[in-house]
Structure 1
Amino acid sequence: MFLAAAFSIALLQSAPDPALLAEVKAADTALFETFFERCEPARMTAMVTPDFEMYHDKGGVVATSGAGFVGIYAKECERRKAPDAWRSRRALLPEMLHVDPVPGYGAIEEGDHVFYERKGDGPEKLVGKAHFVHLWKKTPDGWQAARILSYAHQAVE
């Protein structure tokens, strides 16, 4: 009887929380839209923790602080101002998204995403796919990305 009750509690605890999923998905969308499609360093600063870290299987250790990450972002914004610059867009694959709570901190988000590129105002082309894990911190001001792991990158033809 005790084992059955413990198993039932474990199942309830592991059931996805629709509200948490919606909140984290919205934070994810805002972060990547800001990074790829806008140029707002102040907004990006508010979206990452001061101790933000990002690791990438192709780019290595991308950032070890929020300020460092925003600095990289600001340089990328300047580069994209050229009329013939390459521009990228990221799209979340919602069917692959999974979010788990981290009590007293925030949430872990895991999933897959795809990337599109275009040169200048040219046509957009699907170019890659990757897996990710994000650690999100829930603050009084909203969700902030604390850690990003981006890996298993594959070209898409």
Structure 2
Amino acid sequence: MPCKPWILLAAVLLPSMLAAQAAEPTDSIAAMSPEQLHETIRAKDVALFRAVFDTCDTALLATLVTDDLEFYHDRGGVTARSGKEFVDGVAKGCAGREAPDSWRSRRELVADSLRVYPVPGHGAMEIGTHKFYERQGDGPEKYAGVAEFSQVWRYEDGQWRVSRILSYAHR
């Protein structure tokens, strides 16, 4: 019995299509220049911290974190064991900012400190330094301190999402 052309075509194309889908994250990351990867992760970093500190945009924040996010803080301990827990914590903190005399914080990335490294088949590591400022109500903003941070970004389904956050060396 002769083989139908569409079966032969499927037998030839399907394995290569599946391999291309499985290789997408690695190939997409590998195809980026170091400068492109650095700029992509820097932009994601800005969006993440803007959503947390400036806009309280928890809907956006939820798209920037993985479901299995873990957040480790050298002063606060393990502050989140899931993306939902992290987003809920930010939402709770944002609700507290409504009072006229509440404390508000601002994060500033020390631009020349940012380093980004590819993680083949997964995403990227981001390492840097950031400064924090705070003010109460409409009062003057004051420098609150500086810390180091490391973040692991996962690239899947065409999206970059942070999966691990370490915040340490606060001073």
Tell me which protein shows more strand as a share of its residues: 1
For the aligned residue pairs, the C-alpha RMSD in angstroms reads 1.4
What residue is the counterpart of 1:153 in the other structure? 170
1:92 aligns with 2:112: no
Q: Residue deviations 1:79-133, cap 9 Å, x none?
A: 0111111000000011111100011111000010000001112111111000011
Identity score, percent: 50
Of the two, which has the highest radius of gyration? 2
Aligned with 1:120 (options 125, 132, 137):
137
> For residues 97 and 65 of structure 1, what CA distance do their matches in structure 2 show?
25
Q: Normalized against structure 2, the TM-score is what?
A: 0.79
> For residues 143 and 121 of structure 1, what CA distance do their matches in structure 2 show?
35
| Matched positions, count | 140
Moved more, 51-60 or 38-47: 38-47
Displacement of 1:142 in angstroms is 2.5
Q: Residue deviations 1:17-48, cap 9 Å, x none?
A: 00000000000000001100112221111110
> For residues 90 and 139 of structure 1, what CA distance do their matches in structure 2 show?
27
Runs of 4+ in 1 over 3 A off after TM superposition: none
Displacement of 1:141 in angstroms is 4.7
Aligned with 1:76 (options 73, 86, 93):
93
> For residues 99 and 155 of structure 2, what CA distance do their matches in structure 1 show?
36
Q: Residue deviations 1:37-76, cap 9 Å, x none?
A: 1122211111100000000000000000001111101101
1:34 aligns with 2:51: yes
Q: Normalized against structure 1, the TM-score is what?
A: 0.86
Q: Which consecutive unaligned segments of at least 5 residues does structure 1 have?
A: 1-12
Tell me which protein shows more helix as a share of its residues: 2
Q: Which consecutive unaligned segments of at least 5 residues does structure 2 have?
A: 1-29
What residue is the counterpart of 1:61 in the other structure? 78
